[in-house]
Amino acid sequence: MSLDNHLTTQELRALDAAHHIHPFSDTAEMRAKGARVITRADGVWLQDSEGNRILDGMAGLWCVNIGYGRRELADVAYRQMQQLPFYNTFFMTTHPPAVELSAKLAEIAPGDKNRVFFASGGSDANDTNIRLVRHYWAALGKPDKSVIISRKNGYHGSSVGSASLGGMAPMHAQGGLPIPDITHIDQPHWWAEGGDLSPEEFGLARARQLEEAIDRIGEHRVAAFIAEPVQGAGGVIIPPETYWPEISRICREREILLIADEVITGFGRTGRWFGSETYDIDPDIMTIAKGMSSGYQPIGGSILRESVAQVIEEGGEFNHGYTYSSHPVAAAVALENIRILQEEKIVEQVAEDTAPYLAAKWHMLADHPMVGQARICGMMGALELTPDVAARAPFANTGTVGLMTRERCFANGLVMRHVGDKMIISPPLTISHTEIDRLVELAWQSLDEGMAQAKAEGAFRTP
Ligand SMILES: *Cc1c(COP(=O)(O)O)cnc(C)c1O
C-alpha cells in the first residue's frame, strides 16, 4: 500500500531515481532537482509530499474534467471490482458496464455516431483507427486506399502507430517513425506561421493543403484525414474560423474518411460535449479518452458512424482487440463520470458561466509585456511568450523562457505547462471563479518572474 507517506520525500526521490523510468522527462535535470512527489488531490488542488498546495491548471494531463476527490467514482469502482473485476469482450461475450457505456456514448455523441470500440487510452484507440480505416477501404475493395494524412505538431499518442499519426518531430526522431503511408501537412497556427496573411486567409490556405496532398498522392490512395478540433499538446492551437469549414468541404467532396481526435476536446472541454460540435465538424470516427473517465481509470475508444461500422462488420471478423478493451471497472467509472457531467450540468455550466469568466480573465494576460497572444477555447488556453510582441517574434533559444516561467509557476503553487515558449492551461471544468482569479494572479506573477529571470540571464532576445 502506498496511500500514506511512510517514506520521506528524500527516500521517495532516491528510489524513484533508481528504478522509475519517466515518460517525457529530462532524466539528468530531474535527478539534479529530484522528482516532484504528488500525494493527494481534492477539487482543483494537488498536494505534494511536503504539504504544499498547488492549483492544477492542467487537470492532470487534460483529463480530470470533474475535478479530484469525487467519492462516487471510487464507490463505483469498488462495487464493480467486487462484482466483476475483469472479463473480456472477445469471442462474442459482453458485460453490463460495456453495454451501458456504449449506449451512453451513442446517446451523447452527435448524429449517427452510434458504435464504440474500446481501448485503454488515446494512443491505442488511434492505433485501432489506423487499422479500422484501412480495413474499411479494403472491405470496400479498395485496399490501396491506405494513406492517412495528419498534421505537423499534431498529437495523437505515443505508440508506434499513433506517434506516426502525430507530427511531433522529436518523437519521430526516436524509434524509426513514422510508419509507412502516413503523411503530414502544416498546422493552422496563425500567430507563429501566418506571416502577413489575415487569420481567415491563413486558415483557408492551411486547409487547402489537405486538398493539395490528396491531389499529389492520388485520391485512390488516401484513406483518411485525422486532426484534433483544437490542437492540445501542440500548444492549444485554435484554428482560424475558416479552417474547419474548408476541411469539411474537402472531406465531403473527396472520398476519404475524417477522424476527429477528441481525446482532449471531448467531454466538455470546449464548452460542448465534443469539439466537433463546437466547430460544426461531422467526423466518421471520433477518438475519445482522457475526460471520458476524468482520468480516474484508464479508458479510451473510437466512436464510429453507423455506416462505417456496418462496412467493417461486412468485412468479416476484425482481427483486433486489447485485453482491456471495455474493461468493466474502467467502463463503470466512465459511466459514473458521464452521469455526473450530465446530472450536474457541468458542460452547460462551462458554456454559460465558467468558460466566459475564464476567457475574460485570460485575455487580460495579453497585457503582460511578454505575452504576444492570449487565446482560449472553452477551458483550454495558451499564452504566446515573445521578446517582441509587435513582430510576433520567437525567442532565440526556443523553450528556455517557457521552461523558466513554468518553474516559476510551480514555485508559486500553479501547474501551468509550457510547450516551447507557449504557456498552456486546461483546468478541471469544475474550477470556481475564485480559483480562476487565483490561477490568473499566479500566472501573472510567474510571467513577471520568468521575464525578469530571462532578462537577467540574457535569454530575453530574438534569434
Ligand atoms: C493524450 C492524447 C492522446 C493519447 O492518449 P493516451 O491516453 O496518452 O494514450 C491522443 N490524442 C490526443 C489529442 C491526446 O491529447
pLDDT computed for residue 121 by the predictor: 98
| pLDDT on residue 1 | 44
Nine-digit cell string for 370:
511578454
**Series of mean pLDDT values for 10-residue runs along the chain (463 residues):** 73 94 91 91 97 97 98 98 98 97 98 98 98 97 98 98 97 96 98 98 98 98 98 98 98 97 98 98 98 98 98 92 98 98 98 98 98 98 97 96 97 97 98 98 98 98 95
Question: What's residue 33's pLDDT?
Answer: 86
Could you tell me the distance, in angstroms and rounded to a whole number, from the CA of residue 378 to the centre of ligand 1? 19
* C-alpha 51 – ligand 1 centre gap (Å): 30
- Residue pLDDT, tens place only, 304-322: 999 999 999 998 899 999 9
Q: Which amino acid is at 381?
A: G
User: Ligand 1 centroid vs 262 CA: distance in angstroms?
Assistant: 9
Give the residue extent of every domain in the chain: 36-66+345-456, 72-343
Distance (Å, whole) CA 341 – CA 179: 38
- If one residue of 63, 65, 155, 262 were mutated to test the ligand 1 pocket, choosing by the most ligand atoms within 8 A of its CB, it would be 155
Contact between 225 and 256 under an 8 Å Cβ cutoff? The reply is yes
By C-alpha distance, which of 397, 404, 429, 428 is closest to 418?
Answer: 404
pLDDT tens-digit readout, 61-97: 999 999 999 999 999 999 999 999 999 999 999 999 9
Total count of residues recorded for the chain:
463
The ligand 1 site (C-beta within 6 Å) comprises: 121-123, 126, 155-157, 228, 232-233, 261, 263-264, 289, 300
Q: How many H helices and E strands in the chain?
A: 18, 15
Helix axes 243-253, 199-217, angle to 10 degrees: 20
CATH number attached to the domain at 72-343:
3.40.640.10
Atom of ligand 1 nearest to the CA of 289: 7
* Cell numbers that stand for 302 in this block: 473510437
How many whole angstroms separate alpha carbon 361 and alpha carbon 376?
Answer: 10
pLDDT, tens only, 387-426? 999 999 999 999 999 999 999 999 999 999 999 999 999 9
Q: Which atom of ligand 1 is nearest to the CA of 300?
A: 7
What's the gap in Å between 155 CA and the centre of ligand 1?
7
Strand order in the sheet with 38-42: 38-42, 45-48, 53-56, 414-415
Closest ligand 1 atom number to CA of residue 231: 13
**CATH 3.90.1150.10 corresponds to the domain 36-66+345-456:** yes
